[in-house]
Amino acid sequence: MKRSIEFLLWNVRLIMIVPVVVSVFVAAAVLFITTIDAVALFGTMLSYGTLDSAARSSAYIETIVNVVAIVDGYLLTAILIIFALGLYELFIDKIDYAEGSDLASRLLLIRSLDDLKDRLANLILVILIVKFFQIALKMTYTQPLDLLYLSIGMALIGVALFLTNRSKAAKAPPTSYNTADSAK
């Protein structure tokens, strides 16, 4: 009875293949949609030179906003792929095709749920920064208070990046260095 329960409990982890497959399909869909938006943006950019100066200024800001949205879409695709790879490696099995690949050593260093969470949190922070930039470009600044809010937002982004890098440094193993190099 005990062996049967343990067998069942161990194999129930295989249901995690569902979020892996769904994440891959959603990543492909986001990639497709973002690529369509990028191609449409190229079409819009071709007519940029024919605009008058007033329309060009508005089109410039709109183009930058669209570029930021495209970057956002590709970052979301990356998050979904990393999420799928991480879940597969954690719950299903090691990815044999990744053995010996330099790319895999950079991409698949996910040994625990904390590793996966940290990697996803960093990418989500980047997406939030990109989204903040996109909103800041669309905003009209009519009062000095608007600029103060923008500055506070930028300061908070700086704090978030500082704390993220600080936590990475705390987790990193200490590196040894040659004392002869430090004397130079």
- pLDDT value at position 181? 47
pTM over 0.75, yes/no: no
Residues of the chain with pLDDT under 70: 104-111, 167-184
- pLDDT value at position 179? 46
- pLDDT value at position 109? 63
- pLDDT value at position 177? 45
The domain spans of the chain are: 2-138
Q: What does the pLDDT look like over 95-111, one tens digit per residue?
A: 777 777 777 666 666 66
Do residues 81 and 108 lie in contact, with contact meaning Cβ atoms separated by under 8 Å? no
CA-CA distance, 86 to 107, in Å (whole number)? 9
C-alpha distance from residue 22 to each of 17, 26, 80, 95 (Å): 8, 6, 9, 18
What are the φ/ψ torsions at residue 140 (nearest 5 degrees)?
-100, 130
- pLDDT value at position 15? 92
Q: Please, what is the average pLDDT of the chain?
A: 81
